[in-house]
Amino acid sequence: MLLRISHHLLCTLLLVTLLPSGAIGQETGRGFFPPQQAGGGGGPCFAMVQLSLPELNSRLDSMGLKGLPQWVSLFGGGGHFQVGHIMIGGFALGGSVERSIVSEGIVRKASIKLSHSGLRLGYVKAVSRMKLTLGGSIGGGHMETRLCRFPQTARSWNNVWTYYESGFSEVVDARDLDTSAELSGNYFFVEPFFSLRYWVIPLVAVDLGAFYRMGRIGAGRLKMNGESIPEAPKFDFSGMGVRVGIFLGF
């Protein structure tokens, strides 16, 4: 389905590019849908991004947890301004996935949070109520993986204080420990994209887009509780994505 959407959007962009300049000019002045040579605005958006992290999935599997989904949902927003055919803007997206399992009274959890933001630069072509943009994004992202394990009954008011009230004069059974760790890393990304914006009413448009993200956390660049892990593997965040949003502006 993604490939079909990408194919149709690309064909539309090529057809618009090939239109005579006279035909484009005839659309100028047709109300407010939309101005061709200037514009600006922003709004919320939803994205689905392809994610394949076998190094992380194998570790989740060893904990008895289900691996990450092939597509991850991200939410956020962005905005831009346009002068002539050039668009410049920014955006930010974030989302999370959580996995958990209960075995022999012990709860094991892993939560993976992704966030990235950056700048967009694109070439805009306007026809009637539509604007099509072909361009690229550049920016940085962050991955945070929180691992924890605790007795199934540990998340109660009394049990929060148990280990501190009773002291540690005796050996504590490992099964009774509530422990956690945080793995995190930053990555740089480049993202070619194209999008189609259609105004349904003045100042309100629907945004559809597709992109391909290229980025990774290098080997040995991951941190645990703020300390570097020299033998940590690399994490490749490259993959396709689709974006849907509401644009408020012109």
The domain limits of the chain are: 38-99+112-139+186-249
* β-pair partners for 190: 138, 214
Evaluate the CA torsion angle 170, 175, 181, 183 in order and state its sign: positive
pLDDT at 20: 40
Please identify which residue in the block is written with the tokens 């061709």: 36
What pLDDT, on a 0 to 100 scale, did the predictor assign at position 111?
A: 93
CATH architecture of 38-99+112-139+186-249: Beta Barrel (2.40)
- Per-residue tens of pLDDT for the chain, all 250 residues: 444 444 444 444 444 334 343 333 333 434 555 556 778 899 999 999 999 899 889 989 988 898 889 999 999 999 999 998 999 999 999 999 999 998 888 888 999 999 999 999 999 998 888 999 999 999 999 999 999 888 777 667 776 676 666 655 555 555 566 778 899 999 999 999 999 999 999 889 999 999 999 999 999 899 988 888 998 999 999 999 999 999 998 8
Q: How far apart are CA 80 and CA 32, in angstroms?
A: 18
Helix (H, G, I), strand (E, B) or coil at 16: helix
The phi, psi pair for 8, rounded to 5°, reads: -65, -40
Phi, psi (5° rounding) for residue 24?
Answer: -65, -40
**pTM for the predicted model, two decimal places:** 0.74
